[in-house]
Amino acid sequence: MYDALSELGNLSQQLQAHSVTLLRAEKLLKRTIRVLASFKDSPGENLEEALAAQTLGHLGSVPLESNGKLTRINPKQFLQSLINNLEKRLSFEGEMLHDLSVLDTGNWPSSPGIRHGEAQVKRLCRRFNLGEEQAVNGMRDFLEHPDSEPENLKPLMQCMQTIPCSTAECERGFSLMNNICTDKRSTLLLSNVSHLMMICINGPPVTLFEPRKYVKTWLRTHRSATQTRRPCTPQMPENKNVWKVL
């Protein structure tokens, strides 16, 4: 159980990354399932330690005794049940996932045709409301030059990267909102909270912010707290001769 939970914990950490995509998440899930399946034939590090302690009769300085009330877990049955539940809950047969797989060069045949993945790209463009002709031309350029990412295919690639793979982004949003809406800032409007969250999530880090030009603009245009008089414009007198004297 310790070996299996360690692998699931590692998978959870990887799925919470900002840069993870749906295709990357699928690869990570399938890899974790293969690792769990390998534990049935080759025990994990912690299971080997437990089996060695069982043979010796002690774990370090702690003696081990059998207890009839405890039922021993069948490792292979436990691992197979865990694999079946992962495959059942995390289906890999979705249409969108199948369409997105054509953008991964690792899923291409040895010698793909010039129209490989054309139907899938068109279906994705209709889903994301993108230009089909532009994306198809980009896919053809991608097939001819797999080492470079065509400009016409970048909008579709960027849409693929925006699909959330876990609830981590939602949890980060709630945590950020709690940091913004503190007890001392309880009078913030909903629109202001939304704008602050948008800046914090999508904006550059504070270390890259250059405030100099904004400070100069504020110093030139602001009115200080001690400036109470407003400049008034002179009014034209009714007597034109007096206005000429002025």
pLDDT band at 182 (very low <50, low <70, confident <90, very high): confident
Q: What residues are paired with 63 via a beta bridge? A: 58
Closest CA to 168 of 20, 31, 7: 20
pLDDT band at 229 (very low <50, low <70, confident <90, very high): low
Closest CA to 139 of 118, 169, 160: 118
Give the best-scoring range by mean pLDDT among 142-146, 184-188, 200-204: 142-146
pLDDT tens-digit profile of 125-181? Answer: 998 899 999 999 999 999 998 888 889 999 998 888 888 888 888 888 899 998 888
Rounded to whole angstroms, how far apart are CA atoms 69 and 75? 18
Burial (Cβ within 10 Å: 0-12, 13-18, ≥19) of residue 135 = buried
Query: Do residues 1 and 67 make contact, with C-beta atoms less than 8 angstroms apart?
Result: no
Q: How is residue 238 annotated by DSSP?
A: S
pLDDT band at 111 (very low <50, low <70, confident <90, very high): confident
* Residue-level pLDDT at 242: 45
Rounded to whole angstroms, how far apart are CA atoms 197 and 157? 25
* Residue-level pLDDT at 148: 85
* Residue-level pLDDT at 199: 86
Strands (E), the chain: 58-59, 62-63
pLDDT tens-digit profile of 67-107? Answer: 888 888 888 899 999 999 988 877 666 788 888 888 888 88
Rounded to whole angstroms, how far apart are CA atoms 200 and 223? 29
* Residue-level pLDDT at 32: 93
Closest CA to 130 of 118, 138, 122: 122
Residue 55 or 223, more confident: 55
Reply yes or no on whether the pLDDT at 237 is more than 80: no
DSSP code string of 176-219: HHHHHS-GGGTT--HHHHHHHHHHHHHSPPGGG---HHHHHHHH
Q: End-to-end CA distance of the chain, in Å? A: 96
Residue located via tokens 């059998």: 66
| 145-159, 169-183, 195-209, 221-235: range with lowest mean pLDDT | 221-235
Reply yes or no on whether the pLDDT at 30 is more than 50: yes
Give CA separation, 88 vs 84, 85, 92, 217, in Å.
Answer: 6, 5, 9, 59
pLDDT band at 246 (very low <50, low <70, confident <90, very high): very low
Closest CA to 152 of 164, 135, 140, 169: 135
Residue 90 or 196, more confident: 196
CA 17 remoteness from chain centre:
5
